[in-house]
Structure 1
């Protein structure tokens, strides 16, 4: 019973994972975005409940270069704080942890930020993430620099940008 409750609580936190729509122009996630040797695609956020304190976003990053890069930080004008997180099963328990050193994007490889795995967590939301809107997020890489993305906000249960949750 306690495990079921814990899993439901973790699922609720992950379902709140999104970002919000703001005035500055960013790259529309309808097409892949290239920054340096990195290609970003499939970005999305999940709709949150009103007054939700946290939201998250997800994206796929492919390093087409010959050297590693590192996602060192994430931010959004939609939230007070942006962090890079990872979720993993440890025995029967789902654990979430912040990755303060970021995530390496190995040369020639693809890293996918997705629900119940690597994700971007935004805390202190200034407004809810509303399905059908977009959220501006900024990803900063060690080598490639920073890039702004406008990610679509999908339904609360969406598991990828291809799954529109309708």
Structure 2
């Protein structure tokens, strides 16, 4: 194939592909995953979800082969002052022009029943499911060295459900 034809095919491909990329106004930054230890049965992913669009969206689910179950979780304080991790079935809203933080001690993607270890420096493939933007595949680096943010000193942690 000549250089001219090759360039023509490349331009045509990009011309048709750009509208698909332009449709999603959701951007993911500073994503990382971790587990508590080498033999941990659970892990989590954290990130910034930015909605650059003019209308709100909602993260309604996540999928990954790394675990038997992948859920959206948050932490809430119960009546006894104990922080509990609970599933957020309705997902996380991401308002237009805003950023929603998934961070330790707050909202996060939870991997339950790990099928493999989360090794520092490796990547985890996660499909984020948005109400309007649809599915977005993200390669998330495993970072076991990142220190937690402040704010986790609210007492004991209960990883059970309040259902």
Secondary structure of 2:65's counterpart equals coil
Aligned to 1:25: none
Q: Which has the higher contact order (CA 8 A, sep 6+)?
A: 1
Matches within 5 A, 1:59-70: 59-70=47-58
Q: How far has the Cα of 1:85 moved from its partner? A: 0.4
More helix by share: 2
- Greater alpha carbon shift after TM alignment, 129-138 vs 149-158: 149-158
Q: Deviations over 1:86-115 (max 9, x none)?
A: 113346321211001111111111100000
Q: How far has the Cα of 1:144 moved from its partner? A: 0.7
Mind listing any 5+ residue stretches in structure 2 that lack a counterpart?
1-20, 150-163
TM-aligned CA distance change 1:147 to 1:118, over 3 Å: same
TM-aligned CA distance change 1:147 to 1:35, over 3 Å: farther
Q: How far has the Cα of 1:122 moved from its partner? A: 0.8
Distance across 2 between alignment mates of 1:136 and 1:35: 22
Q: How far has the Cα of 1:80 moved from its partner? A: 1.0
Aligned to 2:9: none
Mind listing any 5+ residue stretches in structure 1 that lack a counterpart?
1-32, 161-166
Aligned to 2:127: 138
Q: Deviations over 1:61-97 (max 9, x none)?
A: 1111111101111111111111000113346321211
Which segments of structure 1 move beyond 4 Å, counting only runs of 4 or more?
none
Matches within 5 A, 1:1-166: 36-90=24-78, 92-155=81-144, 157-159=146-148
Bigger Rg over Cα: 2
Distance across 2 between alignment mates of 1:154 and 1:34: 30
Aligned residues: 128
